[in-house]
Structure 1
Amino acid sequence: MGESKVRILFVMHGSGKGGVEESIITLCKHLNRSLYEPIAVFAAEGYAKDAMDSIGMKTLIAPIESFIPPAYLSLKNMEEYYFGRFLFFLSERVRELVRIIKEHKVNVVHSSTITILDGAIASNVAGVPHICHVHGKYIANHHFLPVKAVYSLIEELSSEMVAVSDSVSEFIRGYLPSNRKIAVIYNGIESDKYVANKNSESALFREYVELKGKKIVALIGRVYDVKGIDVYVDAAINVALKWQDVALLVIGPIGDQVLYEESVRKIELMGLSSRIIFTGYRDNVPKLLADIDIVVCASISEGFPYVVLESMAASKPVISTRCGGPEEAVVDGETGLLVDVGCSAGLSKAIGILLDDEETMLKMGAKGKERAVNVFDADQYARAFEKVYTFAASSDDRGSLRSHSWELYLVSLSNLGVLGRRVSALEREVMELRKFEALIKDNILYKTAKKIRNLIK
């Protein structure tokens, strides 16, 4: 390996099979390896790490933590996560990443999402430029970590911020203290992996034999409120009641159990369980898309969902809400249809338009394929990022003084984590004492003694 290569360390937020991971895998596959050497670091083994191993990349395991607390935690537990886990161990995690950066002579650090600050801080401590790849709109405005503070910090930590869509770029700029330009690089897709023809013997039709011979409409994504699952289910019910030859699917893992159970009950009440189906997770989207006729994105907000590009590459018309990034991928009336966010009536109407006009449905799918090839090609995507890496590696002015400043900042953050952990421990002790006090006061001996004391008085 020549020293002229630009070495990029991808600090990954996860090792699963989500849209972000797929976009980074695609990017790494299409980088010019004679000029760029991608290295990836993960917190754990998983699909994405295996995929990068399979294309000859160097992959590593190191402790990495998102600053965003899990959504299922209570506010109090979120505070404890942030101070007692994220900040408390931050210094340890960052120093390991700094070691990796120096050992592998990394020229540029690329954080896969805005939620990973570890790599951003490590790059600054090591004096290496940092690229923040922003895939969505972070809006969780916790009092201990306000949205504006998050974006301001990321701006300070990054040589370049790259958004996946104009929608995301505009959103970020609204929180930044300066008029800094946010680069936009659309995700790329390997269109030749996707075919349009149905296979009646595919795994989907073998598992759900009742789907054979029916038009298939599908929403592909994790079951969360932000994906507009409730709106899609309402629209699906309307469609299923009017068109008997259609089945409507939700394909993806269950993220919100309550939402899932409420949706299933609603479907069962209408007697439509055999035609509106939650399939759960499926691991081969390209093959799966071949069996689908219409793809729906009903989300409340999206950055630039990879599944929309996959659907277009598979020659499927996409019906999407006007939720951000999909509006930049789907050409309304040409490659699909756009409807208002939260409007189940509009969504069911759009689905009906395509069900009633197969010729238009097929034409939109073909136009979508053409757009995926011409606008969202994986090679174009990689070339755009190569320019960012080259510019960052050659022009960044981070020196020893700046590195020392971030060393001090890291110490301050870690000390804040220690303090936060101690405060949380004290609060738990106070709560235990109050519980003990309540038990004592409820004790018959205590109540009797209190009555005797009052009589003596």
Structure 2
Amino acid sequence: MKRIVFLNSCPVWGGGEKWTFTTARLLNQDPAYDIYIAAGSETELFKRAKNAGIKTEAVEIRSGISVLNPFKSKRFIDFLKKKNIDIMFLNMSQDLKFGGITGKIAGLDRIIYRRGSAIPIKNRFYNKYLLKDCVTDIIANSRATKDTILKNTSQWLSEDKITIIYNGINLSKIDKAGEEAINLHEEFKISQDKVIIANIGRLNYQKGHEFLLKAAAIIKEKRNDFVILIIGSGEREQELKKLAREYNVSNNIIFTGFRDDIYKILPGIDFLLHTARWEGFGFVIAEAMAASKPVVSTDVSNISELITDGENGFLAEAENSEDIARQTIKMIDLERDARLKMGKKGREYVENNFVLDKMNEGLKELINNFE
């Protein structure tokens, strides 16, 4: 039996936390693995792990120098040794620092860093030490992510250390939730003649919500038959609400806050609008496609690995509100049957490339290819 811990210190719920939870729960169903999730005790990930019957370990890690806190480090090393952990998965950069060093001291067989963001790794001495001497394997969640990992590190980091494993989508869960779809017109009091657009993600700098709001203002100059649900929470919430007022689009924007019923929301939208500055995989895009919804997205990082422009969605130039508005209007203008056809193609693409079983097989092959 392999004993595995997933270390994820992110304080909020997002794509990386969804991946951690989904992967840990999958492996936890296999008696060949003994699974733990190590996370902050007040995080959504920790709570979901407990509710799912996954063993947990409370680890409070903050960015900066606190990742080297000797008392926290010793406590975690003691946990790793006491539970005879063989393999540790790391998610965030602060997890890489804290988990890479503690895992090496504890003598783990495998330390696997999962890179979910297509941002180049800085060529710093500590990254060289962590990735060469502490980490045994790296998972990239897309070709774009792999390329950015190597952009500044190719002189000293072996490409063979990196394995691409795409995120897996639970199609049966999406289909089941579709049977209990939320009536968005009723819940949010949206008139039947409005096109419902969803934007889903943390309210942070990466997701580029200011470009979405400016695009909404541009669209409103031409038409007023749309509502955008901004689904998520984060540090920019008040700033973005103020910006919506300044752009005079408050009547077209609904901030829903964090929702844990996204799969029940997806059937009720007409399409997804994604305006990120960068992505690693774009989990929510694949989820919308799995729910047979077309997507308008900025053409960043790996998104073109998901969306074929004009087939299952439209691609817009990143950080360009005018182009985002143009592509969004193009989607609104499509006949309903044309949008349904796009959504169907998206579903087929997910079925062929991003199902949960494929991800599970790739992970197990990586885990077990080491004795």
TM-score higher than 0.5: yes
Q: How does 1:336-351 map to 2 (within 5 A)?
A: 336-351=313-328
Q: 1:250 to 1:266 in 2, by over 3 A?
A: same
Q: What do the CA deviations read for 1:288-324 (whole angstroms, capped 9, x no partner)?
A: 2122111011111111122112111111111111111
For residue 197 of structure 1, report the CA deviation from its aligned partner.
Answer: 6.4
Q: How does 1:288-437 map to 2 (within 5 A)?
A: 288-357=265-334, 358-392=336-370, 394=371
**Residue 12 of structure 1: aligned partner:** 8
For residue 201 of structure 1, report the CA deviation from its aligned partner.
Answer: 6.0
Tell me which of 35, 39, 42 is aligned to 2:32: 35
Q: Aligned partners of 1:210, 1:227: CA distance in 2, in Å?
A: 25
Q: How does 1:201-212 map to 2 (within 5 A)?
A: 202=183, 204-212=184-192
Answering whether residue 112 of structure 2 is matched by residue 134 of structure 1, we say no
Kindly provide the amino acid, as one letter, of the partner of residue 291 in structure 1: G
Q: Aligned partners of 1:133, 1:231: CA distance in 2, in Å?
A: 29
TM-score by length of 2: 0.89
Q: How does 1:12-411 map to 2 (within 5 A)?
A: 12-14=8-10, 16-31=12-27, 33-63=30-60, 65-67=61-63, 82-83=64-65, 85-87=66-68, 89=69, 91-116=70-95, 117-128=97-108, 129-137=110-118, 148-156=124-132, 157-176=134-153, 177-181=155-159, 182-195=162-175, 202=183, 204-257=184-237, 259-268=239-248, 272-357=249-334, 358-392=336-370, 394=371
Corresponding pairs, count:
362
Q: Aligned partners of 2:191, 2:57: CA distance in 1, in Å?
A: 43
* C-alpha contact (below 8 Å) 1:27/1:378 kept by paired residues: no
Give the SS at the match of 1:210. coil
Q: Aligned partners of 1:259, 1:308: CA distance in 2, in Å?
A: 25
For residue 353 of structure 1, report the CA deviation from its aligned partner.
Answer: 1.8
* C-alpha contact (below 8 Å) 2:67/2:94 kept by paired residues: no
* C-alpha contact (below 8 Å) 1:112/1:134 kept by paired residues: yes
Q: What do the CA deviations read for 1:368-413 (whole angstroms, capped 9, x no partner)?
A: 1122222111121111111111124x1xxxxxxxxxxxxxxxxxxx
Give 5+ residue unaligned stretches, structure 2.
none
Q: Percent identity?
A: 26
Give the SS at the match of 2:53. coil
Give 5+ residue unaligned stretches, structure 1.
68-81, 141-145, 395-457
Rg larger in structure: 1
Q: Aligned partners of 1:114, 1:345: CA distance in 2, in Å?
A: 34
Q: Aligned partners of 2:340, 2:179: CA distance in 1, in Å?
A: 13
Q: Aligned partners of 2:126, 2:352: CA distance in 1, in Å?
A: 35
Q: Aligned partners of 1:112, 1:138: CA distance in 2, in Å?
A: 14
Kindly provide the amino acid, as one letter, of the partner of residue 35 in structure 2: P
TM-score by length of 1: 0.73
Q: Aligned partners of 1:179, 1:139: CA distance in 2, in Å?
A: 13
